[in-house]
Amino acid sequence: MGLDMYLEKKTYVKNWDHETKANKYVITVKQGDATEPLIKPERISYITEEVMYWRKANAIHSWFIRNCADNVDDCQPVDVYEAKINELSEIIDELLNSRDQELAATLLPPQSGFFFGSTERDEWYWKDLEQTKEALDKLKADYQYVHDLYAKAKATEDFDGPIPSFDIIYQASW
């Protein structure tokens, strides 16, 4: 038993007949000279990827609960918006650059709890921050990709490419 934490990226792939091609997101694979759907969008609505898994990273858990779940810690899925991803990333950047224990206690304090692990700001605390930062940087790149596609679609009348849509979900269990 213990605090298990998940950050998932849920990408919308459902194709509706009324949507334009630019709003459809279809993953295809090249098969010789033909392109075939790898995933059959008519059968699914979302693809869910595990962006990050933590074990007993209680400071990160506490941040998500305080900032994304209105302080309700009930193991339910929580939507995490892009602004919150950016905010957490900036906090972690500041902490990793300074390695200041007092600043860490203020910006990203550990949380005690039943089977939540250590509340020390030790090497495990800093390792959790480093791994979280890597995952957040990849998510930020995904957001930038989508923003770039939208900008291209607005700037080019004949844009006919897929524009993905995704949600980020945090959930913990213990």
Instruction: For 26-76, write each residue's pLDDT tens digit.
Output: 566 666 777 776 666 677 788 899 999 999 999 999 999 999 999 999 999
The per-residue pLDDT for 69 is 98
What is the pLDDT averaged over residues 136-162?
Answer: 88
Number of C-alpha atoms within 13 angstroms, CB side, residue 72? 8
Higher pLDDT, 21 or 131: 131
Half-sphere exposure in the Cβ direction for 134 (13 Å, CA) = 8
Mean pLDDT to the nearest integer, 115-133: 95
User: For the residues 15-26, what does the mean pLDDT come to?
Assistant: 52
Q: What number is the average pLDDT over the span 124-136?
A: 98
pTM (2 d.p.): 0.82
Share of the chain above pLDDT 70, in %: 86
CA 154, chain centre distance (Å):
26
Average pLDDT over all residues of the chain: 88
- What confidence tier does 164 reach under pLDDT thresholds 50, 70, 90? confident
Give buried/exposed letters for 32-67 (b at 16+ CB in 10 A, else e): eeeeeeeeebeeeeebeeebbebebbbbbbbbbbeb
Q: Is 89 exposed, middle or buried (0-12, 13-18, 19+ CB in 10 A)?
A: middle
> What integer pLDDT is reported at residue 104 of this predicted model?
98
Q: In this predicted structure, what is the pLDDT of residue 22? A: 46
Asked whether residue 3 carries a pLDDT value surpassing 90, the answer given is: yes
Q: Provide the pLDDT confidence category of residue 13 given band limits of 50, 70 and 90.
A: confident
User: In degrees, to the nearest 5, what angle opens at C-alpha 136 toward C-alphas 105 and 142?
Assistant: 160
